[in-house]
Structures are given as structure tokens and as C-alpha cells.
Structure 1
């Protein structure tokens, strides 16, 4: 079976992705490190600009972070413990049996999973952990939640790539041919301004499709509707994304 073509929904939005995507909790890296058989090397596949890789560099001696998008890798700040590489998840280029942990955060739904799982098995040390991590639609306090849901489901909803359904299902719909480990109860939490939330919506892959189909961006109208219920633009509201996991020991 040949390598699947790379579905690149993110290179054009790489700077916005780096600026506006949420940050994983520090507890995530520690929870994964506790499961791993050692803390020598973590491989983070589909790393984007390195959100999770930077956290993994805390407990792990070395992190190799790969992404098929050169534009995403270009947005990754250098780190002395992270080797950022332009490479598909299905072909990391790492030696056999070298990694204590293999992760894919908000990325596995884009992979050729059969090839990725074969690669994970190849690079895994005995007892290494494979972790697929995802987060779905954020939760907001107050009336802003309804405005966000309308934009997500009704305005840009028809333009989400079909793979998005796996994210909304917490990755339970992805094939996962492994005995599963219990998942930690973790979430991404932040306090965001109006501009933070609009900037985040601007990174959505569905927005690219909506712009192409409609001939204009629906983001300004969303920003206007959100501002009407937000209050002062600088007001920070609590936002939360529960994390979903598929975890296995290889």
C-alpha cells in the first residue's frame, strides 16, 4: 500500500495557527511520561508548530517532532531538546525501537492510520506508549456559547472536511487495533478575550472551505455577532476543551 496523499488544510493558515491555537495543559506531558517505559525519546507526529512537543520536552530527554507541512514547521520556535522535521507521520525517519512515546495531538484523523500504526510499532521500544489526543468544540460561558455553536454548525458546518467527524466523536470512530489503557481526565482551559476567540475561529479548516464557496469570509459577521454578546472586548471569558484519548502500550 502506497503512502496516502497529504491533505494540507493548514499550511496557508500556519501563522494564525501558531498565534491562536490553544495550549495543552502541562499535566498532559507528565501523565504520558508516567505511562512510558522511559523518558529518553518522544516522537510527536503531526506536530504543527510544536504545541505538544514543547511540553514533552519537559519530562523527556529528547523530542522528535514531525509534520508534513513545511509551513507549520517554519512556525515552530527552536528548542534545544526538540528536533523539528518536515516528514509525514507514516515515515518518521527514526531508527527502529528507539521511542518511549509516540503521540499525535489533533492530527491522527488526517493520517493513513494503517501506515502510521505500522510506523509506530516499528519505532517503539518494548512497552512504548502510543497516544492519540484530540479536542473538540470549545465550551464558553454565557450567551457567547450559542453564537459560537451557530457559527460552528450552521455557518461553516457544511464546509468541515469529513475527517472532522472523528474529532467530534472524541476519536472513538477511528480504527485502533490495540488493547487500550485508561485515559486521564484532562482538559485545555484558558481565559480568552474576544480577539482571542475570533483569531482561533480563523484557524478552522472549515473557514477555508467557506471562503472558497461563498466568495468571502464569514468571519467578520461572526466577530460582530460575538461582540454583541461579549461585553467589553478585553473581557476574558473561561474557555474549555475536554481532551479525548486513545492510549495503548505497544
Structure 2
């Protein structure tokens, strides 16, 4: 999916919500050390920068060079392009060896991964005991009853264009394999439910849609889900282009440690 997100890297940066600082605090409180963190599928680096507030060094990796070109600089974050051709041993070497990583984070990306391969690598890299893997995402936006009804119809129309791997997001990670021992933030089959709040103009909401994979895939197949008529209906139910709304993203998280 890297190529798809390459084309919309700048829009993705502008449209996506920031993750609450409390999330990083609660994860840091559960790791025994705070030396090294790995943010996988970092994109523009927003999670990496949040993690850097609690760890001495963060290595932030992505297969997309375009996404990394918009990454947010931070003195404790090192951004690294990791093409899919990299071997498991090369990834271990990049992290400085096995059993060295205190926290691995994957923000709205793990559903794109080869899960058995990634989990095997994570288990090699995590500090034992005390290292934690945390994955999270979001799958819905709540604004107001009228707008929610209109936007729900739009998302239902987009379902046929969701990539097969995105089923985990649609299901709120409830069906995501997660072979790690719970640290009190969800467990396999039952993620912790969270919320993200963001102030948005209607233009920001449109950018969010345009950065979403099903809308991009539909457009590539010649289907315009965001016709002028649809946009007008959305804007009217929003309350007008100049109205700032508080948007609530429905999020979910799984965090765990290696089962000994």
C-alpha cells in the first residue's frame, strides 16, 4: 500500500488527527526502561515525536520515502527508510540487536503488515522482560447527528473499495491477531476503546476523506465518491464551510508484552 500513500503524503499530513499525549504517558508508564523505542510505519512521524517525549531515542521507519519527506524533525527521532526488501536480520541490526527495544508503536498501520513476519521480528527486538508492543487505529468520526447520518451513507458506499487488509480497522481490531500478553490496555479480541478530539473546518474533513485509502482506490478505478452533490450535502449537514466543529475519532488500542 506504500505506493498509494506516496501520492497523498502531504494531504495525509494536513488531514490526520494527532494522538493524545496521555497515550504516550500511559505506555511509557508500563515499560521498565526508556532507552529505545521503534515507531513502525511512522508516516509523517506524529507518533514518533509523541513517543520521543518519554524515550532517549526513537527509530522511526517507513517503506514510503514520500511519507518520510514530510516527517516532523525531533532531536531524539531518527527517521529511516526501510524498503520491503530489508531482511529480518537487517532490521535487527538497525535496532542495535535483539532484546533492546523498550516500546514498539504502530499507529494506524499494523493492518497493512505481514503480521506473522512482523510479530516474529517484534518478539526478537523487544526487551525481555518489560518491552511492550502497542498498536492502535481509528475507524469512525462523530460530529453531530445530522452529519453522522450523511457521512455514514458515504462510508457505506466506500466499503467496496476498502482493501482486504483494512477489514481489521473496520472491525476495530477485534479480529486482529495479537499474540502478546496484556499490560492492561486491551487484549486479543477486546481492544481498549479510546477517543481522539480535533477541531476541524469542513475543508479539513474533506482532506481527511481524500487521504483515505478507499476514496483513493475508488478514484483510481474511475469512481468519484466525492461528487459535487455529495460534497454539498456534507457541507450543509456540517453547518457551512466556515464553521469549526469538534470531531471525535473513535479509536482502539492493543498493547502487550512478549509471552515467556
TM-score, structure 2 as length reference: 0.88
Secondary structure (helix, strand or coil) at the match of 2:164 reads: coil
How many residue pairs get aligned? The number is: 244
Q: Does the 8 A contact of 1:198 with 1:219 survive in 2? A: no
Q: Is the 8 A contact 2:154 2:225 kept in 1?
A: no
CA distance in 1, matches of 2:115, 2:134: 13
Could you say what secondary structure the match of 2:181 adopts?
coil
**Structure 1 match to 2:165:** 163
Cα gap change, 1:221/1:157 in structure 2, threshold over 3 Å: closer, same or farther?
A: farther
- 1:15 correspondence with 2:23: no
Match of 2:133 in 1: 130
Tell me the distance in 2 between the aligned counterparts of 1:185 and 1:200. Answer: 21
TM-score of the superposition, structure 1-length normalised?
0.91
Q: Supply the distance in 2 between the matched residues of 1:193 and 1:219 (Cα, whole angstroms).
A: 19
In 2, Cα distance between the equivalents of 1:86 and 1:245? 25
In the TM superposition, residue 232 of structure 1 has moved relative to its aligned partner by 3.1
Deviation at 1:222, TM superposition (A): 3.2
Contact 2:49 2:72 in 1 (8 A): no
**Counterpart in the other structure of 2:189:** none
- The range that moved more, 95-104 or 82-91, is 82-91
* Distance (whole Å) between structure 2 residues aligned to residue 198 and residue 217 of structure 1: 12
Matched, 1:193 2:195: no
Measure how far apart 1:217 and its partner are: 5.9
- Deviations 1:3-54, CA, capped at 9 Å, x for gaps: xxx6543111111001111110010110110111111111010111011111
For structure 1, the residue ranges without an aligned partner over 5 or more in a row are: 1-5
- Distance in 1 between the 2:256 and 2:71 partners? 28
Give the drift of 1:142: 3.1
Matched ranges for 1:199-218 at <5 A: 199-214=207-222, 216=224, 218=226
**TM-aligned CA distance change 1:73 to 1:105, over 3 Å:** same
**Structure 2: runs of 5 or more not aligned:** 186-191
* Structure-2 residue corresponding to 1:182: 184
Q: CA shift at 1:185, angstroms?
A: 5.2
For residue 228 of structure 1, what is the aligned residue in structure 2? Answer: 236
**RMSD (Å), alpha carbons:** 1.8
Residue of structure 2 equivalent to 1:53? 48
User: Residue in 2 aligned with 1:3?
Assistant: none
Alpha-carbon contact 1:141-1:238 (below 8 Å) kept: no
5 Å-filtered alignment, 1:8-87, equals 8-87=3-82
